[in-house]
Amino acid sequence: MAMLESEGAPAASGATLARHTAVLPAENVTGYRAFQAGSFEFHRDEYFARITWPGGSHVMPVDYFLRALMRDVAWGFFYGTVNFDGVFGTTNHYGEVTMYAGLYNDSFKAAGRDFSERFDSNDLMGVFKAMIGDWTNAGYDPFAAPMETGTPWGPKQGANHSAVERLRVTAKRMVGLPGDTPVRTDESGFPVNRMFHDVPQDAPKVFAEPGFEDEVSAFNLFAYLSRSDVTWNPSVCSVVGESLFCPTSEEFILPVDHGNDRCEWFIVLTDEIVWDVKDKETGKNRARVIMKAGDVACMPADIRHTGYADKRSMLLVWENASPKIPELIAKGEAPLVSVQF
């Protein structure tokens, strides 16, 4: 048994943290390893991910599980809550993370059957990275649209480390600035996606005053997004203080129900995205939002949402990344909605 045990310092939050993690031997029949984090245990077989915890168990189709796990890993547990489905997921405390079963599910809560444990983020991330690496077969890319990748089914067959170890784009100031994350080109391995051949690839010309060459820049955001090789992956492309523009290209389904811990602006740049919006705590339906190119919406801080895009679509997600916001909202000092009419 390979142990990932960490003898960490006391939790910064003062919370009691689960410290135990382990990678179990490969199973004889399927070839997949099993994993432990705290009291949770994870197994996969040909079709399913199976999760157990004291007093309960859960099953997810493994394609859906891997797509959600991939986002949680690449996003570093993201803002707020990443619901893999209506039962299982993680909530980010920024340095620590809660992994839960049924915590945001009305039926589990009402029956007193929800279960959760809190981890140091690095401990849980170590297990999640090992799991996505072991459970992803050669030829399958959990970040890709279903029509642009293979299938995840069957016993273990190789691996796809280059796909699951992609780094999320996080510009320090803006894409294309000297020393910052580069624009995408054919030469750098980012061809135009099959659905975006109609997107102009011209680039703006910039004439900076002498001495300001490192300060003035521009790039064609549509061309940049047309070359994204992944879906549902908001990437930080420009930063002003704590204001982040996180554009992304979307196709098929956002494979998580994202539980916001702050307001979140969406601007659909091309095509159409349909959002299912539910109550963050209970999962009860609240709204269906159909957004076409040019539509702007602000998702409230007390909801969870998933999205659907038939044709590959471009979306601008605008986040205020201030770490103070969740606490301000919890105290009632910041609003749940950004605009009131």
Give the nearer residue to Fe ion in terms of CB position, either 248 or 260.
260
- Residue in 258, 278, 280, 312 binding Fe ion, rule: CB under 5 A: 258
- How far, in Å, CA of 84 to CA of 69, rounded? 8
Give the nearer residue to Fe ion in terms of CB position, either 90 or 260.
260
Instruction: Based on the shown chain and the rule CB under 5 A, indicate whether residue 72 belongs to the binding site for Fe ion.
Output: no
Instruction: Based on the shown chain and the rule CB under 5 A, indicate whether residue 270 belongs to the binding site for Fe ion.
Output: no
Kindly state the number of chain residues that form the binding site for Fe ion, as judged by CB under 5 A: 3
Give the DSSP per-residue string, 221-284: HHHHHHT--SSS---B-EEETTEEEEEEEEEEE-SSEEE-SS-EEEEE-SSEEEEEEEETTT--
Element (H, E) at 97: strand 96-101
Instruction: Based on the shown chain and the rule CB under 5 A, indicate whether residue 71 belongs to the binding site for Fe ion.
Output: no
Nearest position to Fe ion, beta carbon:
258
Q: Is the sign of the CA dihedral 293, 295, 299, 305 positive or negative?
A: negative
Instruction: Based on the shown chain and the rule CB under 5 A, indicate whether residue 250 belongs to the binding site for Fe ion.
Output: no
Give the nearer residue to Fe ion in terms of CB position, either 136 or 260.
260
Region near Fe ion per CB under 5 A, out of 42-50, 105-113, 256-264, 268-276: 256-264
| Shortest Cβ 317–Fe ion spacing (Å) | 8
End-to-end CA distance of the chain: 58
Instruction: Based on the shown chain and the rule CB under 5 A, indicate whether residue 81 belongs to the binding site for Fe ion.
Output: no
Give 146's DSSP letter: G
Give whole-number Cα distances, 125 to 9, 34, 74, 162, 247, in Å: 17, 15, 10, 18, 24
| Shortest Cβ 300–Fe ion spacing (Å) | 10
- Residue in 264, 291, 314, 315 binding Fe ion, rule: CB under 5 A: 264
Look at the chain and count its residues: 341
Instruction: Based on the shown chain and the rule CB under 5 A, indicate whether residue 278 belongs to the binding site for Fe ion.
Output: no
Footprint of Fe ion on this chain (CB under 5 A)?
258, 260, 264
